[in-house]
Amino acid sequence: MTEQRFSGKISEKYSLYGMGSPHHDEFEEKIAEIVGEFSKKITDEKIRLIELGCGDGSTTIRLVNADQRIAVDTIDNEPSMIEQAKNNLKEFIEKGKVKIIYADVVEYLQKLENSSVDIIASGLVIHNLTGVQRTELMNEVSRVLKSGGLFVNGDKIAQSDYEKHQEDLWNQIQAYDLYLKHGLPELRKGWILHCIEDEKEDRIMYDDVEVERLKDLGFKDVKIIFRHWMDAIIFGIKR
Ligand SMILES: C[S@@+](CC[C@H](N)C(=O)[O-])C[C@H]1O[C@@H](n2cnc3c(N)ncnc32)[C@H](O)[C@@H]1O
């Protein structure tokens, strides 16, 4: 089982995430837009989408709404986040459009059959893994996606240009000052410490590395779109 980086304050107050990341709605909309555009090309009656990490369910709602045929299985390993997601996704769970699964994302994918999934999507989850876990995960993503399937990940993806990355990081850390104005210094501290951990050599996720990884795994049309500070979206189609 991998570690859980979303317990405590940042989980309790996850609904305030957008305060420190004012572009967050737009970012999630873009992920869903890519899923919606891709779905238009699928002629099947049902589209199977696996979401890696539901968090509080804010990305999940957009994914399930991206196309009427989509059913989402969303995987998360943090009980307090799952509780929030259950609440926020109640209506979709009742309709059988969303299923929340308590598991580690790598361990879950390892149990799936080859070429069995149309879309794998994720928002702000994969950067939480260590380099070794990320390699394992991406090998599984490639194995379980159908040929022609979509992988889309909106995440904290550092620019490989050091100066640009420093600037992005500084802008993000400064944005957390807004929590002070709302009397939430502990939340600010929690997110800054999370950022510091994300910078560690065995965790930081670089744009050029992820593009090359997808190409090496046999993805085509690999692109990075949308960047606001460290948040960017990478996607590709499995050959
Ligand atoms: C920042 S939240 C993302 C929420 C939402 N997608 C968003 O953009 O606001 C990240 C979620 O990933 C989950 N997560 C991180 N590592 C995981 C792992 N190895 N297995 C399952 N879930 C994981 C955390 O528990 C957390 O709920």
The mean of the pLDDT values for the chain is 96
Q: How many CB atoms lie within 10 A of CB 193?
A: 11
Asked if residue 90 has pLDDT above 80, the reply is: yes
In order, the DSSP letters of 141-202 are: HHHHEEEEEEEEEEEE-B-SSHHHHHHHHHHHHHHTTHHHHTT-HHHHHHHHHHHHHHTSTT
Site residues for ligand 1, CB cut-off 6 Å: 2, 5-6, 17, 28, 53, 55, 58-59, 75-78, 81, 104-105, 123-125, 128-129
DSSP conformation class of 126: G
Atom of ligand 1 nearest to the CA of 137: 19
Which atom of ligand 1 has the smallest separation from the CA of 82? Answer: 27
The model's confidence at residue 100, banded by pLDDT at 50, 70 and 90, is very high
- Distance (angstroms) between ligand 1 centre and the Cα of 43 equals 30
Per-residue pLDDT tens over the stretch 151-207: 999 999 999 999 999 999 999 999 999 999 999 999 999 999 999 999 999 999 999
Dihedral pair phi/psi, residue 42, rounded to 5°: -90, 135
Homologous superfamily in CATH for domain 9-238: Vaccinia Virus protein VP39 (3.40.50.150)
pLDDT at residue 92, as a whole number:
98
Task: Give the ligand 1 atom nearest the CA of 51.
Answer: 6
Residue 8 has pLDDT above 80, yes or no: no
198-202 long-range contacts (CB < 8 A, ≥24 apart) are 198/127, 198/128, 198/156, 199/169, 202/130, 202/131, 202/132
Q: Strand 70-76 to strand 47-52: parallel, antiparallel, or no bridges (unpaired)?
A: parallel
Q: If you average pLDDT over residues 122-144, what whole number do you get?
A: 98
For position 3, what pLDDT does the model report? 74
Residue 17, pLDDT score: 85
Q: Predicted confidence band at 2 (pLDDT cuts at 50, 70, 90)?
A: low
Which of 6, 58, 132 is the pocket-test mutation for ligand 1 (most atoms within 8 Å of CB)?
6
Whether the predicted pLDDT of 23 surpasses 60: yes
Residue nearest to atom 15 of ligand 1 (CA): 125
Atom of ligand 1 nearest to the CA of 107: 20
